[in-house]
Amino acid sequence: MSETKRPVRAILLGDDLGLTKRWSAIALGLFTLVLAIYVAGYYQSVYSLLPGQAIIVGGGTVLVLLAAWQTYQNRSFVLSLLVCIAPVSALFIRIVGAGQTSTPTVGDTLLLGVGWGLVFGVPLGVLGFLLGYAARTVTKPDAAA
Protein backbone atom coordinates (compact mmCIF):
# COMPACT_ATOMS: atom_id res chain seq x y z
CA MET A 1 0.00 0.00 0.00
CA SER A 2 2.34 2.70 -1.17
CA GLU A 3 0.92 6.16 -1.51
CA THR A 4 2.58 8.97 -3.31
CA LYS A 5 2.38 12.13 -1.28
CA ARG A 6 3.31 15.54 -2.51
CA PRO A 7 5.69 17.37 -0.22
CA VAL A 8 4.33 20.40 1.58
CA ARG A 9 6.76 22.61 -0.34
CA ALA A 10 5.23 21.52 -3.66
CA ILE A 11 1.71 22.23 -2.42
CA LEU A 12 2.66 25.67 -1.16
CA LEU A 13 5.06 26.81 -3.89
CA GLY A 14 3.94 24.75 -6.87
CA ASP A 15 5.33 22.07 -9.11
CA ASP A 16 7.54 24.23 -11.31
CA LEU A 17 9.84 26.89 -9.89
CA GLY A 18 9.92 28.73 -13.22
CA LEU A 19 6.13 29.07 -13.24
CA THR A 20 6.25 30.16 -9.62
CA LYS A 21 8.63 32.99 -10.51
CA ARG A 22 6.48 34.04 -13.48
CA TRP A 23 3.28 34.12 -11.44
CA SER A 24 5.06 36.05 -8.68
CA ALA A 25 6.02 38.64 -11.30
CA ILE A 26 2.40 38.74 -12.49
CA ALA A 27 1.20 39.37 -8.92
CA LEU A 28 3.77 42.15 -8.50
CA GLY A 29 2.68 43.61 -11.83
CA LEU A 30 -0.96 43.59 -10.76
CA PHE A 31 -0.04 45.33 -7.50
CA THR A 32 1.91 47.99 -9.38
CA LEU A 33 -0.78 48.45 -12.04
CA VAL A 34 -3.63 48.90 -9.56
CA LEU A 35 -1.61 51.25 -7.37
CA ALA A 36 -0.48 53.32 -10.40
CA ILE A 37 -4.06 53.59 -11.72
CA TYR A 38 -5.30 54.89 -8.39
CA VAL A 39 -2.36 57.20 -7.66
CA ALA A 40 -2.52 58.73 -11.16
CA GLY A 41 -6.29 59.24 -10.92
CA TYR A 42 -7.22 57.12 -13.94
CA TYR A 43 -9.79 55.24 -11.87
CA GLN A 44 -12.20 58.17 -12.29
CA SER A 45 -12.55 57.53 -16.02
CA VAL A 46 -13.25 53.85 -15.33
CA TYR A 47 -15.91 54.73 -12.75
CA SER A 48 -17.55 57.11 -15.22
CA LEU A 49 -17.91 54.28 -17.76
CA LEU A 50 -18.97 51.42 -15.48
CA PRO A 51 -21.01 51.27 -12.29
CA GLY A 52 -19.05 50.55 -9.12
CA GLN A 53 -20.69 47.18 -8.51
CA ALA A 54 -19.68 45.96 -11.99
CA ILE A 55 -16.08 46.96 -11.31
CA ILE A 56 -15.99 45.15 -7.95
CA VAL A 57 -17.68 41.96 -9.19
CA GLY A 58 -15.75 41.97 -12.47
CA GLY A 59 -12.42 42.57 -10.78
CA GLY A 60 -13.08 39.86 -8.21
CA THR A 61 -14.06 37.44 -10.96
CA VAL A 62 -10.90 38.18 -12.93
CA LEU A 63 -8.76 37.62 -9.83
CA VAL A 64 -10.47 34.32 -9.02
CA LEU A 65 -10.00 33.15 -12.62
CA LEU A 66 -6.31 34.15 -12.56
CA ALA A 67 -5.81 32.24 -9.31
CA ALA A 68 -7.64 29.24 -10.77
CA TRP A 69 -5.52 29.31 -13.93
CA GLN A 70 -2.34 29.50 -11.84
CA THR A 71 -3.47 26.54 -9.74
CA TYR A 72 -4.37 24.58 -12.86
CA GLN A 73 -0.87 25.16 -14.25
CA ASN A 74 1.28 25.01 -11.13
CA ARG A 75 -0.82 23.99 -8.08
CA SER A 76 0.62 26.62 -5.76
CA PHE A 77 -1.60 27.63 -2.86
CA VAL A 78 0.61 30.58 -1.86
CA LEU A 79 0.58 32.03 -5.37
CA SER A 80 -3.19 31.69 -5.61
CA LEU A 81 -3.42 33.82 -2.51
CA LEU A 82 -0.75 36.24 -3.70
CA VAL A 83 -2.39 36.83 -7.09
CA CYS A 84 -5.55 37.96 -5.29
CA ILE A 85 -4.08 39.70 -2.25
CA ALA A 86 -1.56 41.89 -4.13
CA PRO A 87 -3.98 43.95 -6.27
CA VAL A 88 -6.62 44.13 -3.53
CA SER A 89 -4.00 45.40 -1.07
CA ALA A 90 -2.86 48.03 -3.57
CA LEU A 91 -6.44 49.19 -3.93
CA PHE A 92 -6.97 49.42 -0.19
CA ILE A 93 -3.64 51.13 0.45
CA ARG A 94 -4.84 53.98 -1.74
CA ILE A 95 -8.40 53.98 -0.38
CA VAL A 96 -7.23 53.97 3.25
CA GLY A 97 -4.73 56.73 2.55
CA ALA A 98 -7.32 58.93 0.85
CA GLY A 99 -10.14 58.30 3.31
CA GLN A 100 -8.48 59.33 6.57
CA THR A 101 -9.78 62.35 8.43
CA SER A 102 -6.42 62.89 10.09
CA THR A 103 -2.93 62.55 8.68
CA PRO A 104 -2.03 58.86 8.98
CA THR A 105 1.54 57.71 9.10
CA VAL A 106 2.89 55.70 6.19
CA GLY A 107 3.08 52.64 8.41
CA ASP A 108 -0.56 52.95 9.47
CA THR A 109 -1.68 53.36 5.87
CA LEU A 110 0.29 50.31 4.73
CA LEU A 111 -0.86 48.23 7.68
CA LEU A 112 -4.53 49.03 7.16
CA GLY A 113 -4.29 48.61 3.39
CA VAL A 114 -2.60 45.22 3.58
CA GLY A 115 -4.95 44.14 6.39
CA TRP A 116 -8.05 44.92 4.34
CA GLY A 117 -6.34 43.36 1.33
CA LEU A 118 -5.97 40.15 3.31
CA VAL A 119 -9.58 40.26 4.49
CA PHE A 120 -10.91 40.48 0.94
CA GLY A 121 -8.09 38.82 -1.02
CA VAL A 122 -7.75 35.55 0.91
CA PRO A 123 -11.30 34.31 0.17
CA LEU A 124 -10.81 35.12 -3.53
CA GLY A 125 -7.49 33.26 -3.58
CA VAL A 126 -8.89 30.22 -1.78
CA LEU A 127 -11.85 30.08 -4.16
CA GLY A 128 -9.51 30.34 -7.15
CA PHE A 129 -7.29 27.60 -5.74
CA LEU A 130 -10.24 25.27 -5.20
CA LEU A 131 -11.62 25.91 -8.69
CA GLY A 132 -8.25 25.42 -10.35
CA TYR A 133 -7.45 22.28 -8.40
CA ALA A 134 -10.88 20.83 -9.17
CA ALA A 135 -10.48 21.62 -12.87
CA ARG A 136 -7.05 20.01 -12.92
CA THR A 137 -8.36 16.92 -11.12
CA VAL A 138 -11.24 16.54 -13.59
CA THR A 139 -9.22 17.15 -16.75
CA LYS A 140 -5.95 15.50 -15.70
CA PRO A 141 -6.79 12.80 -13.13
CA ASP A 142 -3.31 11.27 -13.28
CA ALA A 143 -1.58 14.64 -12.67
CA ALA A 144 -3.68 15.71 -9.67
CA ALA A 145 -2.00 13.44 -7.14
Distance CA 102, CA 123 (A): 31
Which range of 17-26, 41-50, 107-116, 119-128 scores highest in mean pLDDT? It is: 119-128
Q: What average pLDDT is seen over the chain?
A: 85
Distance CA 11, CA 100 (A): 40
| pLDDT, tens only, 33-82 | 998 988 887 777 777 787 878 888 888 999 999 999 999 988 899 999 99
Counting every residue, how long is the chain?
145
DSSP 132: H
**pLDDT of the residue at 1:** 40
109 contacts 97 by C-beta, under 8 angstroms: yes
64 contacts 124 by C-beta, under 8 angstroms: yes
